[in-house]
Amino acid sequence: MGVIIADEILQAARMTEDELRQELAVLLYQKEKLTLGQASRLAGLSRLRFQHLLASRRITVHYDVAEFEEDIKTLKEIA
């Protein structure tokens, strides 16, 4: 599903498309609607860069068992 945001909305908010995506990703992560991996993908950033963005805003990283298991699965696929 794609979402179209009118250019006039971006101009009114004084944001680029990338900035809006990052803001949305941070908000959804903070509300625990997205995992760290999902939010970083939405933001268009690596997990590490997204974690730096969160840290710059003093937002703690929540990391649960499901995310740990997802990371283990990813590591096994890489190896």
Residue-range definition of the domain harbouring residue 62: 7-78
SS3 at position 44 = coil
In a domain, 1, yes or no: no
CA distance 64 to 67: 5
Question: Domain for residue 2, yes or no?
Answer: no
pLDDT, tens only, 50-72: 999 999 999 988 877 877 887 78
Residue 52 φ then ψ, to 5°: -65, -40
Domain membership of residue 62 (yes or no) is yes
pTM score: 0.75
Tokens 């937002």 sit at which residue? 59
Number of domains in the chain: 1
* Res 42: pLDDT: 95
